[in-house]
Amino acid sequence: MGKFVFKETKIKGLYLIDVTAFGDERGYFMETYNAADFRSAGLQYQFVQDNQSSSRKGVLRGLHFQKKYSQAKLVRVLKGEVFDVAVDLRRGSETYGQWVGVILSEANKRQLMIPRGFAHGFLVMSDYAEFAYKCDELYHPEDEGGLKWDDPDIGIEWPETEELVLSEKDKRHPSLAELKIEF
């Protein structure tokens, strides 16, 4: 049995990845990335930066992207549970403006491989979550971009939450129609 099961979503290039965990009375072990396995699945990335964040229930981070220095991201949850979303911003794509949302959790150990040209964000559904991701381009603070999390033209179906916590920056992102970026 392979260590990874790669499932392409309804959006070309966006993959949900199931990981095989080997467990016993001590706990478990799993590979979260293997360049040869990813390459054989057609996913050829050279990751250059790892990031990790922690958030409490109701925190919505996103929808973020880098403008000039676009990043592909391999994302997963270390603790807790999130609703993770990727929005296709590739202008020539058949799925431009469409989104995919998946539950990522420490229990299901799933990952999402997000190619360049997508906005990304997540909503924390558990009391606390730790989120980790690998990027194939370095982060450039001056290159940040964002997309309105509740743009009605995109229509993301976020899970209901008692409290929604957004950064001031994330409250001010433009809609898809207002974006002036091309990937």
- β-pairing verdict for 144-146 and 60-66: antiparallel
For 68-91, what is the mean pLDDT? 97
Residue 99 has pLDDT above 90, yes or no: yes
- Structure-token match 């982060």, residue found: 139
- β-pairing verdict for 99-105 and 111-114: unpaired
Q: Which helix (H) or strand (E) holds 22?
A: strand 22-24
Clarify whether 64 is annotated catalytic: yes
Which residues, including other chains, have CB under 8 Å from residue 42's CB and lie 6 or more apart? Answer: none
Q: Which helix (H) or strand (E) holds 39?
A: helix 35-40
The candidate with the shortest Cα–Cα distance to 179, out of 79, 59, 96, 58, is: 96
In 30-182 the beta strands, taken as DSSP E runs, fall at 49-56, 60-66, 73-79, 81-88, 99-105, 111-114, 118-124, 128-135, 144-146
Clarify whether 133 is annotated catalytic: yes
Question: Could you tell me the maximum CA-CA distance found in the chain, to the nearest angstrom?
Answer: 53
User: Percent of the chain having pLDDT more than 70?
Assistant: 99
For 116-136, what is the mean pLDDT? 98
What's the pTM?
0.95
Q: Which among 133, 139, 140, 173 is annotated as catalytic?
A: 133
Give the model's pLDDT for residue 183.
80
Give the model's pLDDT for residue 110.
98
Q: 46-71: per-residue pLDDT in tens?
A: 999 999 999 999 999 999 999 999 99
1 vs 179, residue with greater confidence: 179
Residue 182 has pLDDT above 80, yes or no: no
Cα separation, 19 vs 124, in Å, equals 21
> What residue ranges define each of the domains in the chain, with the CATH number in brackets?
4-10+46-171 (2.60.120.10)
Q: Which among 64, 139, 140, 173 is annotated as catalytic?
A: 64
CA 126 to mean position of chain CA atoms:
17
Region label for 58, one of left (φ > 0), alpha (ψ between -120 and 50) or beta (otherwise) = left
Per the DSSP assignment, residues forming a β-bridge with 37 are none
Q: 152-179: per-residue pLDDT in tens?
A: 999 999 999 999 999 999 999 999 999 9
Give the model's pLDDT for residue 180.
82
